[in-house]
C-alpha cells in the first residue's frame, strides 16, 4: 500500500491519485465513510471495555456470593442470571461452546445405517426422517451439530443404536468457548425484552 502524499489519495489498489482528478461525490463519500468508521471504532472499543468490565464484575459477585454464603452460582458451564431486587432488570452471563466432531462420527453413522437397514420399512418412518435430516450438510459442507446431538434424545432400545449414540458423544470436541453478557428489562406482560447492544440488528 502506497504511503499518503500531500495532494494525493491512495485508491483501492494502492495507487496514488491526484486529489484534483477525483470526483467531488467520491471525496464526500470517502469523508463520510472515514468519519462514521472512526466513530464506530470508538464505540466498538467502548462496548468491548464495557463487556470486559461487566464480565469481571459478575465474576467477582459470583465468587463473593460463593465465599460468603457457600452458594455455588453459575452451574457447571458458568451460566448465571442475576436480577435487580424489584425484578425489573435481569443480567445473563452465558458461556457458549463451539463444537466439532472427530472421525468417530463416521463410525456412528455406519452404526446408524446398520440400524436403518435392520428396521422394517413400515416402522420408525418419522425417526428415519429425523436421522436422515441430521446428517445433511449445509452449502459449506458443514454438519449441523445440534441436529446430530439431538439424536441422543431419541430413546431406542437397540444395542447398535446405543453404541452409535456413545460414538457420537465420544466424537464431540470443544474447539472454542465464548462468553456473552445480555441485559433484559421486564415488560408490562411480565416477559423480558433484551436490551439491544448489537448495532447490526
Task: Kindly give, in sequence order, each residue whose CB lies less than 8 Å from that of residue 171, ignoring residues fewer than 6 positions away.
Answer: 101, 102, 103, 104, 105, 107, 108
With cell 464431540, the residue in question is 172
- Name the domain boundary from 73, 96, 120: 73
Q: Are residues 64 and 130 in the same domain?
A: no
Are the C-beta atoms of 80 and 92 separated by less than 8 Å? yes
The pTM of this model reads 0.61
pLDDT for the residue 2: 59
- Residues 90, 53 within the same domain: no
57 and 95 fall within a common domain: no
Its domain, for residue 172, covers 77-201
142 and 178 part of one domain: yes
Cβ neighbour number for residue 167 with a 10 Å cutoff? 19
One domain, residues 61 and 82: no
Distance CA 89, CA 140 (A): 40
**Structural domain ending residue among the three candidates 48, 73, 98:** 73
Give me the pLDDT at residue 121, please: 59
Question: Do 135 and 36 reside in the same domain of the chain?
Answer: no
CB 186 within 8 A of CB 89: yes
Same domain, 89 and 171: yes
Q: Under a CB-based contact definition with an 8 Å cutoff, are residues 55 and 181 in contact? A: yes
Q: What is the pLDDT along the chain (201 residues), one digit of tens a residue?
A: 556 788 899 999 989 999 999 999 999 999 999 999 999 999 999 999 999 999 999 988 888 888 777 766 655 567 889 999 999 999 999 888 788 888 888 888 888 888 888 776 555 666 777 777 788 777 777 788 888 888 888 888 888 989 999 999 999 888 878 888 999 999 999 999 999 887 665
Map grid coordinates 450438510 to a residue: 137
How many separate domains does the chain show?
Answer: 2
Judgement on whether residues 94 and 191 belong to the same structural domain of the protein: yes
Residues 136 and 197 in one domain: yes
53 lies in the same domain as 144 = no
Residue ending a domain, among 38, 73, 108, is: 73
Cβ-proximal residues to 145 (8 Å cutoff; 6+ apart), any chain: 99, 100, 101
Q: Is 104 exposed, middle or buried (0-12, 13-18, 19+ CB in 10 A)?
A: middle
Amino acid at each position: 500500500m502506497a504511503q499518503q502524499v500531500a495532494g494525493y489519495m491512495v485508491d483501492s489498489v494502492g495507487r496514488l491519485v491526484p486529489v484534483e482528478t477525483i470526483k467531488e461525490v467520491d471525496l464526500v463519500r470517502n469523508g463520510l465513510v472515514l468519519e462514521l468508521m472512526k466513530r464506530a471504532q470508538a464505540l466498538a472499543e467502548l462496548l468491548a471495555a464495557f463487556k470486559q468490565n461487566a464480565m469481571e464484575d459478575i465474576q467477582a459477585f459470583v465468587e463473593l456470593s460463593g465465599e460468603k454464603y457457600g452458594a455455588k452460582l453459575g452451574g457447571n458451564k458458568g451460566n448465571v442470571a442475576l436480577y435487580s431486587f424489584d425484578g425489573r432488570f435481569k443480567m445473563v452471563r452465558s458461556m457458549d461452546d463451539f463444537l466439532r466432531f472427530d472421525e468417530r462420527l463416521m463410525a456412528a453413522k455406519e452404526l446408524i445405517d446398520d440400524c436403518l437397514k435392520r428396521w422394517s420399512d413400515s416402522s420408525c418412518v418419522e425417526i428415519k426422517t429425523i436421522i436422515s435430516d441430521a446428517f445433511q450438510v449445509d452449502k459449506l459442507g458443514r454438519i449441523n451439530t445440534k441436529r446430530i446431538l439431538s439424536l441422543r434424545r431419541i430413546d431406542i432400545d437397540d444395542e447398535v443404536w446405543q453404541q452409535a449414540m456413545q460414538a457420537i458423544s465420544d466424537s464431540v470436541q470443544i474447539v472454542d468457548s465464548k462468553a456473552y453478557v445480555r441485559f433484559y428489562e421486564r415488560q408490562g406482560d411480565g416477559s423480558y425484552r433484551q436490551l439491544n447492544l448489537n448495532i447490526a440488528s
